[in-house]
């Protein structure tokens, strides 16, 4: 059976095939027994691939996003702030499952040689969060309205092994890796007036190395590497690496982005296939015939975890979601899955992302059909920050449409029914002038849906404990 990542993730599997794949994904029966000579070594290599997927993806993402001489649009050099001034559009390809509800204020910086300082201004009560991700996609700290309020704040981001003195007035945030991605989000209604207000706040953020404290700081121009593919999605670039390319890069990244003590048992196994932290990858330790087979099967394993997760992914009314994101422990396949379909995901206390890949077991979402999602009176998603419903194509990117609407929320001013319920029309063509306020445009072909609940309420009803039940999306006749 030749199963591709896309077919595994987005449907086309019968119940019988799904059951077989569940067995294969967990027990390694069927998929590789007849395909390779040394099944145990192949399994170890695939486990190592899954383990390293977040770090390799973060590095490839960093390369693309920082491969400019100066800040422009969605990119900026290392150590410089990216300030998105409007919501991303359908041409955005830097990160899968982009957000259409907030203005990003982000940056990649390296704390391996010295700490960096982030100054956040008084946010004047506005909802925001500044999740700090290390190279493994672990959210190690989340300054923001939920955790630290909206007053002005100054943070010192330190790297592995740093033991210096923290300057007065700063709070230390410790990263396990040299790579740090600040993936800040600021809520914005999208009106010209609110755009201007958020822009003013963005311009007050400061980012600089500790050695520049108290001195004039002009960040150096970035260096552009012409060999970096700036058009193909990062996910595709990662998935197309051969086994040797992948493990060579992973071994190099491990030098400045060390594993944690909890990874020791896994790393002892990975040494058998030539992957040892701090050392170059020994390519002779794996079979040369695995160059393309190993990455393909390993990516399939990652995507199959969406359906066969042993509780990591909840399945409610056709929606899959997890409350196990942001911090993963040794759940490496869950970490890799979240990296693949939602790089930069938050902790569940900050956001939960229900995703629906199909309206029923035997059918995929298709723009040739019409769908409806209905929230009963008083049953809109319970979130202290905000909620939204976003449309993506089958590759987790925005869908181009004539009204430039990529998500639905109360911010888009939908019209409630007389009984107080909220009905959202999900289809390719307009449902009519009287219903366009509640229209989420779909492509002509395949698509999927993702909800976002930012700062979900932890009091009942809550999506975190399952006491709030997300309604299904139903196909119309």
pLDDT digits (tens, 9 = 90+) for 89-107: 898 876 678 888 899 999 9
Mean pLDDT of 28-48: 72
Residue 295 makes CB contacts below 8 A (sequence gap 6+) with 49, 239, 240, 241, 242, 243, 246
Q: Is 50 exceeded by the pLDDT of residue 26?
A: no
The CATH superfamily label for domain 337-475 reads Domain of unknown function DUF1214, C-terminal domain (2.60.120.600)
User: How much of the chain exceeds pLDDT 70, in percent?
Assistant: 92
Hey, do 97-212 and 337-475 end up sharing a CATH topology, with the first three levels equal?
A: no
Cα 11 to Cα 275, 304, 362, 471: the distances in Å are: 34, 11, 8, 21
- Where do runs of H (alpha helix) occur along 214-292? 234-239, 243-253, 264-270
Mean pLDDT of 63-86: 96
Q: Please determine, looking at this structure, whether the domain spanning 97-212 carries the CATH number 2.60.40.1610.
A: yes
Evaluate the CA torsion angle 201, 203, 206, 207 in order and state its sign: positive
Evaluate the CA torsion angle 109, 112, 114, 116 in order and state its sign: positive
* Separation CA 468–CA 94 (nearest Å): 33
> What is the per-residue pLDDT for 37?
65
Q: Is 70 exceeded by the pLDDT of residue 404?
A: yes
> What is the per-residue pLDDT for 190?
82
Mean pLDDT of 112-116: 98
- The residue behind tokens 């001034």 is 85
Over residues 251-300, the pLDDT tens digits come to 999 999 999 999 999 999 999 999 999 999 998 888 889 999 999 999 99
> What is the per-residue pLDDT for 363?
92
Exposure letters 259-286 (e unless 16+ CB within 10 A, then b): beeebeebeebbeebbbbbeeebebebb
- The residue behind tokens 């990858």 is 281
Domain residues of the chain, as ranges? 97-212, 337-475
- Which one is predicted more confidently, 97 or 83? 83
Mean pLDDT of 174-191: 95
Note whether 452 and 388 are within 8 A (CB): yes
> What is the per-residue pLDDT for 355?
92
User: How much of the chain exceeds pLDDT 90, in percent?
Assistant: 81
């Amino acid at each position: 059976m030749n199963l591709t990542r896309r077919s595994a993730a987005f449907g086309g599997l019968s119940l019988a095939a799904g059951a077989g794949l569940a067995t294969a994904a967990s027990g390694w029966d069927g998929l590789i027994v007849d395909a390779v000579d040394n099944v145990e070594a192949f399994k170890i290599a695939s486990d190592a691939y899954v383990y390293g997927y977040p770090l390799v993806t973060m590095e490839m993402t960093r390369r693309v996003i920082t491969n400019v001489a100066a800040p422009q649009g969605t990119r900026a050099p290392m150590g410089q702030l990216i300030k998105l001034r409007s919501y991303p559009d359908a041409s955005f390809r830097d990160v899968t499952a982009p957000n259409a509800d907030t203005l990003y204020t982000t940056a990649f910086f390296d704390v391996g040689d010295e700490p960096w300082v982030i100054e956040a201004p008084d946010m004047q009560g506005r909802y925001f969060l500044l999740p700090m991700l290390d190279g493994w996609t672990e959210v190690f700290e989340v300054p923001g309205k939920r955790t630290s309020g909206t007053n002005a704040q100054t943070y010192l981001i330190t790297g592995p092994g740093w033991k210096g003195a923290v300057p007065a007035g700063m709070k230390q945030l410790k990263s396990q890796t040299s790579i740090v991605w600040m993936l800040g989000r600021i809520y914005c209604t999208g009106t010209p007036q609110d755009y201007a207000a958020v822009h003013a706040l963005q311009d007050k953020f400061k980012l600089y190395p500790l050695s520049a404290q108290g001195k004039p700081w002009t960040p150096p121009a970035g260096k552009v590497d012409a060999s970096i593919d700036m058009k193909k999605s990062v996910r595709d670039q990662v998935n197309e690496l051969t086994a040797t390319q992948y493990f060579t890069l992973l071994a190099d990244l491990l030098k400045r982005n060390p594993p944690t003590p909890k990874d020791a048992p896994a790393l002892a196994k990975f040494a058998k296939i030539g992957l040892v932290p701090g050392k170059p990858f020994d390519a002779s330790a794996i079979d040369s015939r695995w160059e393309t087979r190993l990455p393909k099967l390993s990516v399939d394993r990652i995507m199959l975890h969406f359906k066969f997760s042993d509780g990591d992914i909840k399945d409610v009314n056709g929606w899959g979601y997890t409350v196990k994101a942001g911090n993963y422990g040794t759940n490496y396949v869950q970490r890799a899955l979240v990296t693949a379909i939602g790089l930069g995901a938050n902790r569940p206390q900050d956001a939960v992302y229900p995703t629906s890949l199909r309206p029923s077991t035997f059918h995929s979402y298709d723009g040739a059909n019409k769908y409806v999602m209905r929230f009963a009176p008083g049953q809109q998603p319970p979130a202290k920050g905000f909620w939204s419903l976003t449309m993506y194509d089958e590759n987790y990117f925005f869908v181009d449409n004539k009204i430039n609407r990529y998500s639905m929320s109360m911010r888009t001013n939908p019209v409630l029914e007389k009984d107080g319920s909220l009905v959202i029309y999900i289809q390719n063509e307009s449902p009519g002038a009287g219903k366009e306020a509640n229209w989420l445009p779909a492509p002509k072909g395949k698509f999927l849906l993702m909800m976002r609940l930012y700062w979900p309420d932890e009091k009942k009803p809550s999506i975190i404990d399952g006491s709030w039940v997300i309604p299904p999306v139903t196909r119309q006749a």
